[in-house]
Chain A
Amino acid sequence: MSNQAPLAVGTGMTPRSDDRLWYLTSSVLTVLIGVFGVAISLRMIFGSKISLSISSLLPLVGLHLSSDGLSGLFDLITSIVAITAGIYVYPYLAHSRSPRTTAAFIPLFVMTMLLVPMASSYYDFLFFWEAMALVSAVLVLANHTKTEALKAGMWYIFMSQVGFAMILGSLAYLSAHSPTGLLIGGSGALKGIPTLTKNIIFVFSFFGFASKSGQLPLHSWLPKAHPEAPTPVSALMSAAMVNLGIYGIIRVDIKGLGPAPIWWGVLIITIGATTAVYSALHSLVSSDIKRLLAWSTGENMGIVICALGTFEVLKSAHNLNIAQVALAGAILQLMGHSLFKSLGFISAGSVIASAGTRSLDSMGGIIHRNPISAVGFSIAALGATGLPLGAGFVGEWLLLQSLIHTLPTRSTVLNVLMPSAVGLLALTFGLAVAAMTKAFGVGMLSRPRSRGAAESAETPPWEAFTISIATLLCIGFSFNPAFVSKIVRSASQATLGVRTKGSVSILSHITLRGVGGSISPLNLGLSVVIGAILFASITEWRIRKKSRQLDVPLWACGSSQPSSKMQYNAVAFAQPLERIFNLVVATQESLGTEHADSDMLILQSASYERSNSDIFETRFFPVVARAMSNLSRLVQKGHSGKIRNYLIYGAIGFIIVLVVAR
C-alpha cells in the first residue's frame, strides 16, 4: 500500500514509521517553496518583471505567468507565512498523526497560493484560484472522519463554489471584452462595456472575492473551516489565503475595472466595516481559541477592505494624496495581519497540543508551563488589538488618518459615511482589544483550569524555534516598518498604475505629506518599553523598600481553598457585551439539572451549555435552501415516472417545432 499513496487519501489510517518521512518531506518542501517564493517575489518588487509562457500546458489557453509590484507583495507575504508555517508542519503532523493527504497537499497549497498573483491571463487566474480552493478544501476535509471537520469542509466547498461562480461570471465577461485577455500587463483597456454591466460585474466579483476574505454575507465558511483545518493549514489559510481575496479585489475591481463611480467605494467600505464589527463581536464571544483567531481574521480583513474602500472613494473624489494613505494603510494592515496571525495560530497550536484542548475555559496557566508559546501568543494578540507596539498598529493608524483627513466634500453620502466608518472602526478596535485580552488573560494567564492545562508540557525545541522566528518577524515589523517601505511603494504604484509622488513615506518616521501627520513606531515603541521598564523597576523598588510582607490566607468567599473554577472565565468575560449584542451573536443557552431525589430538592449535577450562532447561517441560508428545495419539488412532480407525461413533453416539443419552423 505504501506506493499507492493516492489511494490512501484521507483514510485516517494509523501512522507508520515511514509516515514521518512524509511529514518531513512535506515540511522541507513547504519551506523550500517559501524560500523560493521570497526570492522570486523580491525580484518582482525590486528587480525586473517576471514573465513565463508555456503554450503546451493547460488546454485551450496555455500557461501565462507574469508579475508586477502587486503580485510581488502578495507572493512575499505568502512566502513568509509559508516559511514559518512550513517549519511548524513537521512537529504538528507528527504530533497529530495526520493522514498523508495533509502532508502531500500542504506544499501544493502554498504553490497554488503563490501562483494566483502571478497568473497573467484571466483563464490562468481562474485556474489557480479554483485549484487553491480545491487544495485547501481537501486539507480541511483531511480529517473528515470528525463530524465537525466534515461539516466545516462542506460549508467551505459550498461557499467557495458560490464565490467562484460569481468570479467566473465576471472574469469571463471581462476576458471576452479585454483586447489582450491579460490580467497583468495587458495594455489595452477594457472596451465596450455598458455601465450597467460594469456595475453588475463589480458587484459580483467583489462579493466573490470578498467571500474568500471572509466578508459578509458569504463569510460563514471561514470561522468553521479555519479552526477545523490542521493548525499549519489554519495559519496558511488565515494569514495567506484570505489575502488573495484582497488581491482579487485590488487587481480586478480597483485596478482592472478602471474609473469607478463613488458608490463602489461606499459599498466596499460598508461591507468591510460591517464585517469588521460583526466578526470582532463573534471573536469576542468565542471560547474556542482557534475559532476566536479565525473570527479575528475576518475582522482584520474587514479593516483592510474598509481601507481599500476608502482608497476607492478618495480616488473617485480625485483626492489622490490621501487615497494613497489609505492604500498604504491597507497594505501595511495586510502585512501586519499575516505576521501576527500566523504567529497566533502557530503558538495557539502549540498550546493546544500541550494542553490537549481548544477551549479557553480549559486552559489557563500556560505562561508558567509553556512560556514560549504564551509569549508568542501575547505578541500575536497585541498585534490583533491594533495597539501601539503591535503589528497591526501602523496600518490601522494610517487608515484612521485617511478617514479623518478626508477633505470636506459636497457629497452628503461621504460626509455621513466617513465619520460613521471611523465610529465602526473604533468599535471594532475596542472589541478586538476585549477579545484578545480575554484570549490572553483567560487562556494564558491565571491558574490552570483543567488537568490537561495543568500538566501541559513545555514547548518542544522545534516548535519553540518556529515561534521565535515568527515572533521576531512580528516585533521587527511593528517596531520598524521602514523595512517594507519600498515594498509598499512598489505595490501601491502597481495599484495606481501611474508613477506618483508617494504621499506616505515610511522610514523610521512615517510621514504623511500633504496632511501633516507623522508617527514613529520605533520611537513610540522604545519609549513605551523604556517607560514600562522604568515603571516596573520603580514599583519593584518601592515594594522592596517597604519590605513588609504579610502572609495571610486569601479570602475565597468563605470557601477554604480558591479553586480554578472561581476564576473569571471566558464566557463570563464576554457576557456583558454578549448581552448587549445578542441580536447579532444570537446566544443560545441551556441549563440542565439532575436531581438526586424524587422531590427535586437536592441537586446532584448541573450542566450548562451555550453556543453562539451566526445569524446568516441560521436565518438567511436556510431560507435559500428551502426555496431551492421547493422549486426542486415542483420539477420532481413533473418527473414522477408516468411515461404518458414524458411522451406528452416530447409531443409538446414536436408541436412547438412545427409552429416555430413555419
Chain B
Amino acid sequence: MTNSSLIDLASAALLLSGVFIASYNDLARQGSLLRLQGLALAAIAFLMAFEHNSLELWIVGLLVLVVRAIVLPGLVKSAAKRIPTEKDRSHSRVSNTTSLLISGASTIVAYLATIPLSHLDSSSTTKASSIGLALVLIGVQILITKRMAVGQIVGFLVLDNGIAAFGFLATLGVPLLLELGGSLDLLFAILIMGALTDRMIVKFGTTDVDELSELGDR
C-alpha cells in the first residue's frame, strides 16, 4: 500500500470511529473508540513525518499518541468506572438512526464547506481534510445530543481530534509550539471537566446535564 492510501485508511478510521461514538451510548465503548481515533490520528502524523522526513512531525506524532491515544481516552475510561450507572435513562437525546443521519448530513456539509480549500491545493490529503471538518461537526453533534457530562466531554474530544486531523491533512500539522500549547490546554480542560464531573456526582448524584438548569432567565 502506498503512503497516501494508508493515510486515507486512517482518515476513514477517524471518521467511522466518530460516527460510532455518536451512535453508541456506552461510555466504556466510547472510550475505546476514542483510543482508536487517537491511534489513527497519531498514525497519520507518523505517516506524514515518514513521507516528509520531518523531525518536528515525529515529535508532534508522539505527542498526539501520548495525549490523544493514551491519556485522554484513559481518563474517559476511568471516569466511566466511577460514574454511577443509570440504566433507566437513555444517554442520548436522539435514536441511533437519527444520530447516523445527522452524522451523514454533517459529512456532506463538511465536504461542501471544504471545496474552496481544495482549489488551493489539489493533493489528495487536502481533499481528505474535509474529514477533519466532518469530525468536528460530529463532535458538535455528540456535544449536543449526549445527556451525561462525560458524554459531552467525549464530544468535545472528538471535536478536538477533528481539528487536529484537519490540521494534519491540510497542512502537515500545525507548528509544534501550537500543538504543544494546544495539547496542554486540552489536557487541562479535560482534567477540569473531569473534576467538575466528580463534584457533580457528589452534589447531585447524577451527571445528567439536563439537570443543570437552575441558572437561567425565567
- Identify the A interface with B (CB < 8 A): 635-636, 639-644, 647-648, 650-651, 654-655, 658-659, 661-662
Could you tell me the dominant secondary structure of chain B's interface residues? helix
B109 contacts A644, CB within 8 Å? no
- Which of B93, B109, B133, B212 is close to A641, meaning CB atoms less than 8 Å apart? B212
- Residues of B close to A643: CB separation below 8 A: 209, 212-213
A641 contacts B210, CB within 8 Å? no
- Given the known interface contacts A641-B213, A644-B93, the answer about A636 and B218 at a Cβ–Cβ threshold of 8 Å is yes
- Residues of A close to B212: CB separation below 8 A: 641, 643
B112 part of interface (Cβ distance < 8 Å): yes
B209 contacts A662, CB within 8 Å? no
- Given the known interface contacts A643-B209, A644-B144, the answer about A655 and B109 at a Cβ–Cβ threshold of 8 Å is yes
B113 contacts A640, CB within 8 Å? no
- Which of A642, A647, A650, A654 is close to B216, meaning CB atoms less than 8 Å apart? A642
- Residues of B close to A651: CB separation below 8 A: 140, 143-144
B216 contacts A662, CB within 8 Å? no
Instruction: Kindly supply a per-residue 1/0 record for chain B positions 101-138, scoring 1 wherever the CB is within 8 Å of any chain A CB and 0 otherwise.
Output: 00000000100110110000000000000000100000
- Which of A640, A644, A661 is close to B209, meaning CB atoms less than 8 Å apart? A644
Supply 20 A–B pairs (Cβ within 8 Å), ascending by A. A635-B217, A636-B218, A639-B217, A640-B216, A640-B217, A641-B215, A641-B216, A641-B218, A644-B93, A644-B144, A644-B209, A647-B140, A647-B143, A650-B140, A651-B140, A655-B109, A658-B109, A658-B133, A659-B113, A662-B113
Inter-chain CA distance A640–B210, complex, in Å, is 11
Most buried by A among B213, B214, B217: B217
- Residues of B close to A644: CB separation below 8 A: 93, 144, 209-210
Inter-chain CA distance A57–B169, complex, in Å, is 57
Inter-chain CA distance A643–B212, complex, in Å, is 7
B213 contacts A642, CB within 8 Å? yes
Inter-chain CA distance A613–B213, complex, in Å, is 44
- Residues of A close to B113: CB separation below 8 A: 658-659, 661-662
| Interchain nearest-CB distance for B23 vs A (Å) | 18
| Interchain nearest-CB distance for A653 vs B (Å) | 11
* Closest A residue, CB atoms, query B212: A643
- Residues of A close to B210: CB separation below 8 A: 642, 644
- Residues of B close to A654: CB separation below 8 A: 140
- Residues of B close to A647: CB separation below 8 A: 140, 143-144
Inter-chain CA distance A644–B140, complex, in Å, is 11
| Interchain nearest-CB distance for A658 vs B (Å) | 4
- Residues of A close to B209: CB separation below 8 A: 643-644
Inter-chain CA distance A654–B116, complex, in Å, is 17
Nearest 7 CB-CB pairs, A to B?
A641-B216, A641-B213, A636-B217, A658-B113, A639-B217, A640-B216, A651-B140
- Residues of A close to B217: CB separation below 8 A: 635-636, 639-641
A-B pairs with CB below 8 Å: how many?
45
| Interchain nearest-CB distance for A501 vs B (Å) | 66
Inter-chain CA distance A333–B214, complex, in Å, is 61
| Interchain nearest-CB distance for A645 vs B (Å) | 9
* Closest B residue, CB atoms, query A643: B209
For chain B, residues 166 to 218, give those with C-beta under 8 angstroms from any C-beta of chain A: 209-210, 212-218
* Closest A residue, CB atoms, query B149: A643
- Given the known interface contacts A644-B144, A648-B144, the answer about A639 and B216 at a Cβ–Cβ threshold of 8 Å is yes
| Interchain nearest-CB distance for A450 vs B (Å) | 51
Inter-chain CA distance A661–B114, complex, in Å, is 10
Inter-chain CA distance A660–B217, complex, in Å, is 31
| Interchain nearest-CB distance for A352 vs B (Å) | 46
Inter-chain CA distance A659–B133, complex, in Å, is 13
Inter-chain CA distance A659–B112, complex, in Å, is 9
Inter-chain CA distance A636–B215, complex, in Å, is 12
Inter-chain CA distance A661–B133, complex, in Å, is 14
- Residues of A close to B115: CB separation below 8 A: 662
| Number of chain B residues close to chain A: CB under 8 A | 19
* Closest B residue, CB atoms, query A657: B113
- Residues of A close to B93: CB separation below 8 A: 644
Inter-chain CA distance A655–B216, complex, in Å, is 25
| Interchain nearest-CB distance for B143 vs A (Å) | 6
- Residues of B close to A659: CB separation below 8 A: 113
- Residues of A close to B218: CB separation below 8 A: 636, 640-641
- Given the known interface contacts A640-B217, A641-B212, the answer about A662 and B116 at a Cβ–Cβ threshold of 8 Å is yes
Beyond A641-B214, A654-B140, 15 additional pairs, beta carbon < 8 A: A636-B218, A639-B216, A640-B217, A640-B218, A641-B212, A641-B216, A641-B218, A642-B213, A643-B212, A651-B144, A655-B109, A658-B109, A658-B133, A662-B112, A662-B115
| Interchain nearest-CB distance for B152 vs A (Å) | 8
Inter-chain CA distance A651–B144, complex, in Å, is 9
* Closest B residue, CB atoms, query A654: B140
Inter-chain CA distance A282–B128, complex, in Å, is 78
* Closest B residue, CB atoms, query A651: B140
Inter-chain CA distance A644–B216, complex, in Å, is 13
- Residues of A close to B133: CB separation below 8 A: 658
Inter-chain CA distance A121–B53, complex, in Å, is 67
Inter-chain CA distance A659–B109, complex, in Å, is 9
Inter-chain CA distance A658–B214, complex, in Å, is 33
Inter-chain CA distance A456–B66, complex, in Å, is 93
- Residues of A close to B213: CB separation below 8 A: 640-643
Most buried by B among A636, A650, A655, A658: A658
| Interchain nearest-CB distance for A89 vs B (Å) | 47
| Interchain nearest-CB distance for A652 vs B (Å) | 10
| Interchain nearest-CB distance for B147 vs A (Å) | 9
* Closest B residue, CB atoms, query A640: B216
Inter-chain CA distance A636–B217, complex, in Å, is 5
- Residues of A close to B143: CB separation below 8 A: 647, 651
* Closest B residue, CB atoms, query A644: B144
| Interchain nearest-CB distance for B132 vs A (Å) | 13
Inter-chain CA distance A285–B115, complex, in Å, is 76
| Interchain nearest-CB distance for B180 vs A (Å) | 26
| Interchain nearest-CB distance for B216 vs A (Å) | 2
Inter-chain CA distance A651–B145, complex, in Å, is 12
* Closest A residue, CB atoms, query B215: A641
- Residues of B close to A648: CB separation below 8 A: 144
- Residues of B close to A661: CB separation below 8 A: 113
* Closest A residue, CB atoms, query B213: A641
| Interchain nearest-CB distance for A251 vs B (Å) | 43
Inter-chain CA distance A642–B214, complex, in Å, is 9
* Closest A residue, CB atoms, query B106: A655
| Interchain nearest-CB distance for B50 vs A (Å) | 32
* Closest A residue, CB atoms, query B116: A662
Inter-chain CA distance A290–B3, complex, in Å, is 92
- Residues of B close to A640: CB separation below 8 A: 213, 216-218
Inter-chain CA distance A168–B119, complex, in Å, is 49
- Residues of A close to B144: CB separation below 8 A: 644, 647-648, 651
| Interchain nearest-CB distance for A655 vs B (Å) | 7
Inter-chain CA distance A662–B112, complex, in Å, is 8
- Residues of B close to A662: CB separation below 8 A: 112-113, 115-116
- Residues of A close to B109: CB separation below 8 A: 655, 658
| Interchain nearest-CB distance for A437 vs B (Å) | 55
- Residues of B close to A655: CB separation below 8 A: 109
| Interchain nearest-CB distance for A659 vs B (Å) | 8
Most buried by B among A640, A643, A654: A643
- Residues of B close to A642: CB separation below 8 A: 210, 213, 216
| Interchain nearest-CB distance for A654 vs B (Å) | 7
- Residues of B close to A635: CB separation below 8 A: 217
Inter-chain CA distance A644–B213, complex, in Å, is 10
Inter-chain CA distance A648–B143, complex, in Å, is 9
Most buried by A among B133, B143, B214: B143
Inter-chain CA distance A640–B216, complex, in Å, is 5
| Interchain nearest-CB distance for A274 vs B (Å) | 41
| Interchain nearest-CB distance for B144 vs A (Å) | 5
